[in-house]
Chains A and B, each alone.
Chain A
Amino acid sequence: MLAEDFLAAIAKADRADAPSMSARRFVELILRAWPFIRPMLKHIVTLLAISAASAVFIVVLWAVASDLLMNKVLVGDRLQPLQAVLLGAGEEYVTTEVADEDPMTVEQRRIVRDRLLIWFGVGGLVFLGGLATLPYYGTWIRHNINQSLRVAMIERAEHLSLKYHSHARVGDAVFRVYQDSAMIVNLLEEALVGPVTVVFWMTLALFLLFFLSPEVAVAVVAVGIPVVWLTVKYTPRIRRRARENRMANSDLTSRLQESFAAIKVVKANRAEARILERFDADSHRALNAAFYLRLEIVLLSAIAMTAGGAVAIAAEYVLAGWVIEDRETYLGAAVAALIGYTVWNLGAFNYARDQVEEVRGNGFWLIRLWCMVQDLFIGLERAFFLLDLEPDIVDGDDPSAFPVPLHSVACRDVHFSYELPDASTLPVLQGVDLVARAGSVTAIVGATGSGKSTLMSMILRLYDPERGRVAFNDIDIRDLRVDDIRANTAIALQKNVLFAGTVADNIGYAADGKTLAEVEAAAKVACADEFILGLDKGYKTELGERGGKLSTGQRQRLSIARAVLRDTPILILDEPTASLDAVTERQLLANLGEWGKDKVVFLITHRLSTIRDADQIAFLEDGRIVEIGPHDELMARPNGRYRGFVEAETVGLQAAG
């Protein structure tokens, strides 16, 4: 993905209108998420099956038990035949279907009650058993799904080209990998199965209600129509709010990250109060976004709930009238075998009312779910946006093997420009030609901003040239595997990036399977051994945040040791000795010369003493190599660019000598 596309995508996402979320996009996102959910499918199905089974058990138990409790135990009616079977009660308990039969005796009611309570106990055990195991099982499933998505996102983000990263904020990546990705855990169970189960229970309740009273069932359905219409109208507003909520919280995370990454500068400039002000402003923006998003949901719910509640109360009024009239229920005698609801009575009234409540409660929950799903999809959209960015540095179709042994590294007419955030470009390399051979040291010299580090990035294939090519043994590096290129190139960076961890970890970063002895040997080459042993735990000393406890010169030497340890055919040292004193520097260069005898070594530096010993010196100016050759040869050129540079450096030093 090119930077322009990325910027266009950002601009599109920033447009004020609601993000469109067509049914097709929904399906696409679900399909996109499917590979992460698939491995857990077996467990999800198991979990849902167990949950459904225990729910059905409890619902059926309650349907029968409510009749038993109210009509039989409390009032004294005789049992339906099946009820008697369930309770293990004899003939004498069963209704004779005669109009004026005697109620159960007090003793019989007690026995029915006792046995009913045993069933309650069983129901309680099922409930508690499920409660103890199912949430843990469900969480385990969610964690596994989320883990695989998070890791995939991090891998993708690490492989995205630097073009992407120079425009993206660290905090945004944190937010996407963390917060946005978490939405996937709810996709299957909550966003898909959730509404389905809710609709199922709603339909079941409507169905049961229908057998008691079709009129009430129709009324309940009728009130749903305007509520659905309203919800549809409301949806774009909720999406807009949900997106703003996520963007605001992502920005807050970025603000926090950037504040702490720059904390030294902040403190040096007494800017603490100012960054606090900005943090507070960002924090308020995030809180407001959260507030207004939920307020939309609350208002929509309030309207829907009031409408539903009004119908329920009206239904109760009508049903009360029917109970008083002893009116026959719609199904009447057909259900008499199991439940005594042939006519409207106390039990039937309560049962019907419960069904209305069930429909209404589920309807309410469905609206809530709908709103939550909008936010969920906005989150997933943001997570997959990152995952769907294509790294523009990718392996070719049929990559060649890395050339062994490596004889030469060559740049042929290499052109490159940086793209700035406003989509304009900044030309850096404008036709670089350079050949470096194994066993030689090439010093790259030039003013700041002349493109020295960028040229090295081309050799690592961190960027592809716009024109021209970089070749190893005459093989265009675009025909090699990216991993092979970087595995065969070691670089000591100008920005001495250290990672949290021990000294040994940092030297061993990206060099697999090295022994402690090898780590120590590399440290010796880099003149780092001595100071490392002087640390309180030697090679096991924990470094501070970004290696904060070490001086720049010490960090520099760890970077070099890291490059040396990897023992690759190409070695790049980007300003390796800028912060070293002359003694250490001399020692280090001597060590490197000995160690790197058969390697292609690139050296970027300002230090004359370092440059002088190089086999060839490439002088870079305005994105081109204007002079190339050994020190003495270049110094012999009258008015040579390199000679001018050397003279400026040594000005006034003669007196010092």
Chain B
Amino acid sequence: MSETTPLEAPGNQSRREERAERLRYDDRIDLDTKVSSRQAAVLMGRSLKLLAQARGLFAAKFAFSFGFMASALLLPWIGKIITDNVLLQEPFGETDVPYPPFMQPLVVFVDGMAPMEIMLVVAALLMLMLLVFGTRSGSFEEVGLFEGADAATQGENAISAGGSGAGGLWGVAEYMVHVRLTQRLANTLRTRLFARLTHLPMTTLDDQRIGDSIYRVLYDTPQVPGICYQLTIEPALTLIWGAVNLYLIQYTYSDVAPELVWIAWSAFPLAFIVTFPASALVRRTNQAKRAAGAATTNAIEETMDNVYAVQSLGGMRRDAERFAERSRESFLRERFALAVGIALLVVVLGLMVVAAIYITLLVTDQIIEGVMSPGDFFVIFGLIWGILETATDIGSFWIKLQGPVAAVRRVFFFMDYPVDEDRVHGPRLGPISQGIEFRDVAFSYPDGRRTLSAVNLELKMGEVVAIVGPTGSGKTSLAYLVPAFLQATAGRVLVDGRDLADVDLDSLRSQVAYVFQEHVLLSASIRDNLLLAKPDARDDEVLRALEGAACMDFVGELPDGIDTVLGQSGDTLSVGQQQRLCIARGLIRDTRVLILDEPTAALDPKTENELLEALRSGAKDRLIIVIAHRLSTIRNADRIVFLEDGRIRDVGDHDSLMEKAGGPYRRFVALQGG
């Protein structure tokens, strides 16, 4: 549509509104995206439960982090020894500041040595720590690869960049544990979400965009390991680190600088108070960027999957423009979220800079007045800085979780969405022996469209039933009720006298084969396409099914026969041939009930009649339901169900229906025969 069409532009403003609506519309199911702070907390709690899937790795990661932290405690004191006792050559015990207990063995060991002897011991100790912990050599905090500038391209790093604060042997080991932990969490969630999405009801799947599913499964789930980490190990380590530093300060500098500690800790409430009001904004901007990213994914996926149509209809420019618009919007939303994040970071860091300057002021005062030694500056500044960082971390703990929460909400939205299986915990259905009965059945779509009303019908095993009627009369809806792709909104559907709503879905669908109007083939071999329906089928079963659906004449001509690999959605075959393969897939399961939804395009009349004859004689107690327009097919059915406007107008065999003068079926046939 061009920009100027009256379709879009009665006025500028309403056009803009409509465009905004359209963009939002890419989400047709997940519309209410607001999250309150309480809901956010609940989502975090649910993310945490995933940790149960990785207890061992989690414990190992915790132990590794803790061990490394202990080693890191030594470092400032070693620095003090080098400064005071080596470089400035002062004897131990010269200042008021005592070494903490864990340093005593070392201090006792080197006390009285010449400065260079002390340095030798210290250097040896540092070498050991370098090898084991990678001390002072850098860490494997994040072994990220380059990533793009939007959330979709940052997911891979979020799952697998790993990390360890350590380097050296410890770092390598901890790194491995960490990556496996985050991968386990993400994989658990994404496979669960995938399973859940595949179990959505048919009516929901009609509305669920494929690109959106890709986005949620692949790009939203990676935020979960981050949430788990930020809720457990990170605060635990932060608190322990803070407590240890606090203890050290108390122990060594209690008379010197108690106010420093309090100043540093005040960063905690300050950071929290400053950032908390922004939490809803962070969630909203992050939700928007992800929804816009999903819309971009939809655009690529749809264009690529329908490239034949796009090219035939000359829609290349239009589709490229649509993609460009989606992608631009997605990047814009990314930048909005980024701007909010940056603003908050600047506020928090600003607090820290002010605090750091103030601390420097106080500490240098003490040194200038001779209360502390110059060596103390680094120790005390390091310690206070540690507390300051801890306090700010804890203070901004909540705000940092809000971005990931927006992603996790999108995941849990579909984890919570009701699926077919939620409804059914009933007993398994035995082999269907009597038939299917509709009692006062009505069906309306969630959007209110009513397609079936007051349907009463009994279908017996052993029958071939044709469902006939004008386009849009509810034929497919009626057929969909049998394998419970749709659930009657009123009335009951009974199988062998048992209400479908109460039986185990798996035991039902395993006995019903449904061949759809739209022919969907996987880009796999012909054999694999049939094995999708029956994984353990033998070759002769595959061949028999192909023969039954009149596929052998063209399959036999293919160079690799049943092992021929089909192109994307079967493109190398004609549409009719594709549909025949779909029928073969319906046949291979050899189910009690077979539903053929308009096989007309695939089969010429002769083949179709042969197929139905073969099915009829092959298993006399089978139920075959054919939705058809072609008279030659219809008239061979045992019974004909004539539908109009969602109501059954006529039921009977061809001859008896034709005898009704002015009957709707007779009228229909008269028009058909022309």
Contacts and interface: CB of A to CB of B under 8 A. Distances in A.
Interface stretch (B37-45, B171-179, B254-262): B171-179
A136 B197 contact: no
A268 B516 contact: yes
A257 B311 contact: no
A372 interface: yes
Given A132-B346, A317-B123, A579 B517 contact: yes
Contacts of A450: 574
Interface string A505-519: 100111011111001
Binding site of A, secondary structure by majority: helix, strand, loop or mixed?
Answer: helix
Contacts of B567: 165-167, 420-421
A453 interface: yes
Given A143-B335, A449-B574, A548-B207, A320 B116 contact: yes
A412 interface: no
A321 B116 contact: yes
A299 B172 contact: yes
Contact of A320 (B115, B217, B469): B115
A448 B520 contact: no
B146 A372 contact: yes
Contacts of A117: 357, 360-361
Interface residues of A, number: 196
A101 B166 CA distance: 46
Interface stretch (B133-141, B233-241, B427-435, B455-463): B133-141
Nearest to A166: B567
Contacts of A306: 130-131, 134, 137, 167-168
A260 B516 contact: no
A483 interface: yes
A500 B302 contact: yes
Given A297-B143, A375-B146, A106 B368 contact: yes
Interface string B562-578: 00110111011111110
B364 A73 contact: yes
Contacts, number: 557
Interface stretch (B68-76, B270-278, B600-608, B616-624): B600-608
B658 A656 contact: yes
Nearest to B535: A274
A170 B568 contact: yes
A279 B190 CA distance: 10
A476 interface: no
Contacts of A553: 471-472
Nearest to A106: B368
B532 interface: yes
Contacts of A275: 198
Given A120-B360, A268-B509, A274 B671 contact: no
Interface stretch (A10-18, A327-335, A647-655): A647-655
Interface string A412-450: 000000101110101000000000000000000001111
A317 B673 CA distance: 103
Given A346-B87, A548-B205, A578-B598, A536 B449 contact: yes
Contact of B172 (A302, A316, A583): A302
Contact of A515 (B7, B213, B568): B7
A146 B304 contact: no
Given A309-B137, A320-B116, A165 B171 contact: no
Nearest to A187: B146
A581 B134 contact: no
A575 to B, nearest CB: 6
B202 interface: yes
Contacts of A487: 314
Contacts of B506: 270
B311 A545 contact: no
Interface stretch (B405-413, B495-503, B627-635): B627-635
B472 A510 contact: no
Nearest to A182: B148
A262 interface: yes
A215 interface: no
Given A265-B585, A584-B471, A174 B600 contact: no
Interface in A38-70: 69-70
A501 B635 CA distance: 40
A263 interface: yes
Contacts of A575: 575, 601
A499 interface: yes
B554 interface: yes
Contacts of A249: 156
A226 interface: no
Given A132-B342, A165-B568, A324-B87, 11 more contacts: A121-B353, A135-B342, A139-B335, A158-B311, A173-B304, A276-B195, A295-B176, A372-B144, A420-B567, A450-B574, A536-B447
15 contacts: A70-B374, A117-B357, A120-B360, A264-B202, A266-B532, A284-B187, A291-B180, A291-B183, A305-B134, A320-B116, A320-B119, A494-B575, A510-B313, A513-B2, A551-B475
What 8 pairs across the A-B complex have the smallest Cβ distances?
A182-B148, A448-B576, A553-B471, A166-B567, A548-B206, A486-B314, A309-B137, A497-B309
